[in-house]
Chain A
Amino acid sequence: MRSLKLIMRRVLVMVPVLLGVTVITFIMTRVLPGSPIDLIAGPMASREQRLALLQHYGLDRPLWEQYIRYIGGVAQGDFGVSFTTSHPVAADLQRFFPATLELTTCAILLAVLVGVPLGTLGAVRQGTWVDHATRIFAVAGIAMPAFWLSLVLVFVFFSRLQLAPPPIGRLDPLLSPPTNVTGLLLLDSVLAGNWITLRSAAMQLVLPVSVLAFGAVAPLARMARSSMLDVLDSAYVRAARAMGIPWRSVVWKYALKNAMLPVLTMLSIVYGYLLGGSVLVENIFAWPGLGRYAYTAISANDYPAIQGFILYATFVYLVIFLAVDVLYAVLDPRIEE
């Protein structure tokens, strides 16, 4: 099948891209000021003790040799051990990824459910108060800084109104998490039939998802609106109207599908961006996600963790773009290989 060939070619191309990324990050992290050894050894370490630590972490070897060792490890699935968590980086990424995935996927779903209808509605009723209201709503989403909105929501809904649960992470600290299958608490709770953790996980998600969704609504709504406007203005839509096809049919059966393609592209960009982890939101809601992991790693010059995270982020973008391209090919019969 044509799609299969496309997928395979793209997967093969991923390898040199990822390798190139490792080289760049390898060099960049070591160019950063400050060695991780200073932070690990502490102030009272003598030169001898620092050297011992340097040797222990293999940081005294020449750069190319360190790189070869690293790549050799990566080929076997060993991404090194983080200086800051003292756990293998691969395990860290696997641990923090579901938290970010769950958060961003819920946020994207909410943003799509809210933003796309709003945008298309605005286009269909262009110029009316509906259109203006949705545009203002979308701009507000872009304009409000996520961390400010987070703090305001915590203050209003938790501190004052006591409607939201404490922003203390993914689950009530006194609950044991459900048996780990995917790492996505909502899914795992359903699979385990554990309604209490399902409820707690869902409640903990409400505020941070709202913050992220609000920011994501804007680009989606605007893209949906402009794309819809373009389609409604196109020749075949005008022809359909001229032929007497009811407005409702035109919009739902013909225009909508074609308007969605650019929205899909925008969606992939926003999703990829969010999957990189939103540090500020994760910080405020004590969310154990990849954004925070990356931030801590960078602050401490944690080379293995930084490299691992960037590799992961690159991989995610590549996969998402591949998926979207294939979806395009599947959805749009005009695209041929």
Chain B
Amino acid sequence: MNSTRISVALALIVTLLTASCGEAPTQAPTSAPAAAPTTAPAAAAPTTAPAPPAAQPAAAGPKTLIVAVSRDLQNLDPTTSSGDPFTQEIMYNVYRFLINFRLTKTASGEMIGDANNWDGDVAESYQLSQDGKKLTFKIRKGIKFSNGDPIDANAVKFTYDRIFDSKSVTAGNLQISAVSSKDSIKVVDDYTVEFNIDTPNTILYGNISQFGNSILNPKVVKPYMTAADPWAHEWLKANTKGTESGPYLLESWQPGVEFVLAKNPNWWGEPPKMDRVVFRIVPDPSTRLALLKSGAVDIAKDIAPKDLVDLEKDPNIKVNRFTTRIVSWLGMNVKTPPFDNVKVRQAISYALPYDTIIKNVLYGYGRQLTSVIPDGTPTHTDEFFVYKTDPAKAKSLLAEAGYPNGLKINMQVRSDLAETKATGVWVKSELAKAGIDVTIQEMEGAAFTAALQKHELAFFQHPGWITIANDPIGHVYWLLHSDCCDYSNYRNKEIDDLIQKYILSTDVQGREAASKRIQQIAAEDAVWGLLYQPDITLATRSNVKGVVYFSADRDWRYQFMYKE
């Protein structure tokens, strides 16, 4: 064979194989310094951490925590990431806000973040005026962002101006709490900020201790605010460098591979016990389980309840378990017959296999939801929850409703979540005993979410909702009243009036009575099929301590964790 032919062939093969190297993508920057990924596959070699000689394993072991997670970070911009609870957890570790949930020791001696009480965080102290219309924050003196710039009243004002100007969801939350615009927030001096509240209320604190209120560094963010991107969304989505204010900073992010938190040298609070926290992206649940069991990782997130049952028996593993205020329910769209008939909804409520679902879907990692307002929120009551699994009663109610021969309905089931799929199966099989023939319609996550947001789903399980600000009226405002999130289109004039009257009010007795009345109406009207409040779990090796639960947002603060 001809040698030139061979060399041409070889050249082609080599070109193919080296197609990956060389030319950098010519990123036409859409805004100022293009969203330069903080790392390329190799630039991950951290320059700040104790840089080990690349040949040896990093000084790991006791000071590095390795966590296996199911997916990657998505959007680090505090004001545009409401749809991304996973990334929110990391924001709680690198960013801080004016006040934070109080660290409290429970009766059993464990530390938790109290959802109903706040201590100053970036603010050293805060004071509400006598008339409830002015909230004054005194910023801690001498505290800094991760790059050494001072955190002061200007940074706070900049943060809130941006929140309002960019018309973010965070601004919406502030407006609901009667802080109506950026002009409501005034800088008194370098270390004092004033919030002006239109109507005194009890829901503001809960709404400002959320990730959307993360205080940002104007010196770092302003340069990225351009004509094309006035709020620096592009930069903040993928970067935090220089504007971190929490115990950790985001040292590196290799999309698809891992992201690493490292100690923030300018953190002004108690130093975290672990120098670094490495989050490895391991999408497959059985792989995560295998890694935890073998000790290759210290923590594995998103383990299925079925596997948790096994893990509890393993002496090398600890399953940390906490109850939550997450509500999961069956929506019945009152605009879609037959769900417009209250007797049909009541019938379904008598047909649901309550205990079976908690046992077989959650494997016991949850408890019965007994009201639209969950247990753990003040003024919750289960006195109106008269429903229990009673197929005979369900049948008689159906007959009263005009369906003596049973009912045929469709159920929209989200197919990419194991929990909702399993619940769908049980609902179908048990409702059949009451003469209700359920046809399951599977929908992928994106399609399901889109239809949910449009309120087009007829009979569906909401996978889980938590109202971070732990207020009963605020909670039902979202779920039974607001345009966005009243997914079953249920409206009741009395409930609407009560919500309008008491959402911004400090009348404790009035609010309690209103809450009870709302729960009563909701129960009698069977607005939802009440399913469960799932527990939250974190499976770790048994030598991992310091797992502190914040029940408001149920995100983990890694600063408290350590390995013995």
Question: How far is B12's CA from A331's CA once the two chains are assembled, in angstroms?
Answer: 13
- B13 on the A face (CB < 8 A): yes
Q: Write out, one digit per residue, whether chain A residues 169-198 have a CB within 8 A of any chain B CB (1) or not (0).
A: 110111111111111100010001011110
Which chain A residues lie closer than 8 Å to B168 at the CB level?
Answer: 49
Establish whether residues B60 and A45, one from each chain, have CB atoms under 8 Å apart when the complex forms. no
Establish whether residues B483 and A88, one from each chain, have CB atoms under 8 Å apart when the complex forms. no
Taking residues whose C-beta sits less than 8 angstroms from the other chain, chain B's interface range is 35 or more
Write the nearest CB–CB distance from A193 to chain B, whole angstroms: 9
Q: Among the interface residues B278, B286, B447, which one has the most CB atoms of the partner chain A within 10 A?
A: B286
Q: Write out, one digit per residue, whether chain A residues 290-324 have a CB within 8 A of any chain B CB (1) or not (0).
A: 00110010011100000000000000000110010
- Determine, out of B36-44, B523-531, B556-564, the stretch whose residues face the partner at the interface: B36-44
- A91 on the B face (CB < 8 A): yes
Write the nearest CB–CB distance from A79 to chain B, whole angstroms: 8
Question: How far is B209's CA from A11's CA once the two chains are assembled, in angstroms?
Answer: 57
- B66 on the A face (CB < 8 A): yes
| Known A-B contacts A76-B26, A286-B281; A84 and B74 likewise in contact (beta carbons under 8 Å) | yes
- B420 on the A face (CB < 8 A): no
- B372 on the A face (CB < 8 A): no
CB-contact partner of A176 in B13, B44, B484, under 8 A: B44
Taking residues whose C-beta sits less than 8 angstroms from the other chain, chain A's interface range is 35 or more
- A43 on the B face (CB < 8 A): yes
Which chain A residues lie closer than 8 Å to B34 at the CB level?
Answer: 88
Which chain B residues lie closer than 8 Å to A83 at the CB level?
Answer: 74
- A234 on the B face (CB < 8 A): no
Q: Among the interface residues A98, A162, A175, which one has the most CB atoms of the partner chain B within 10 A?
A: A175
Question: How far is B83's CA from A83's CA once the two chains are assembled, in angstroms?
Answer: 12
Write the nearest CB–CB distance from B300 to chain A, whole angstroms: 11
Which chain B residues lie closer than 8 Å to A181 at the CB level?
Answer: 21
Establish whether residues B26 and A283, one from each chain, have CB atoms under 8 Å apart when the complex forms. no
Q: Write out, one digit per residue, whether chain B residues 43-73 have a CB within 8 A of any chain A CB (1) or not (0).
A: 1110000001011111010001010100111
Question: How far is B416's CA from A48's CA once the two chains are assembled, in angstroms?
Answer: 29
Establish whether residues B282 and A286, one from each chain, have CB atoms under 8 Å apart when the complex forms. yes
CB-contact partner of B71 in A35, A41, A88, A296, under 8 A: A296
Write the nearest CB–CB distance from B48 to chain A, whole angstroms: 13
Write the nearest CB–CB distance from A71 to chain B, whole angstroms: 13
Question: How far is B13's CA from A331's CA once the two chains are assembled, in angstroms?
Answer: 14
Which chain A residues lie closer than 8 Å to B296 at the CB level?
Answer: 166, 168
| Known A-B contacts A85-B74, A301-B446; A151 and B286 likewise in contact (beta carbons under 8 Å) | yes
Q: Write out, one digit per residue, whether chain A residues 1-22 have a CB within 8 A of any chain B CB (1) or not (0).
A: 0010000000000000000000
Establish whether residues B445 and A87, one from each chain, have CB atoms under 8 Å apart when the complex forms. no
A-B contact pairs, 28 of them (CB 8 A): A38-B446, A39-B83, A43-B484, A45-B172, A46-B172, A47-B483, A77-B28, A86-B76, A87-B37, A90-B27, A91-B40, A94-B20, A94-B24, A95-B40, A166-B294, A169-B257, A169-B280, A173-B66, A178-B42, A180-B41, A182-B18, A183-B21, A195-B55, A283-B284, A284-B287, A288-B254, A299-B446, A326-B12
> Which A residues fall within an 8 A CB radius of B?
3, 32-36, 38-49, 52-53, 56, 73, 76-79, 81, 83-88, 90-92, 94-98, 101, 105, 151, 154-155, 158-159, 162, 166-170, 172-184, 188, 192, 194-197, 283-286, 288-289, 292-293, 296, 299-301, 319-320, 323, 326-327, 330-331
Listed from nearest, the 6 A-B pairs whose CB atoms lie closest are: A42-B82, A180-B42, A42-B83, A90-B25, A34-B450, A34-B446
Could you list 4 further interchain pairs (A-B, Cβ under 8 angstroms) beyond the known A169-B282, A174-B58, A175-B58? A41-B80, A44-B478, A45-B83, A77-B28
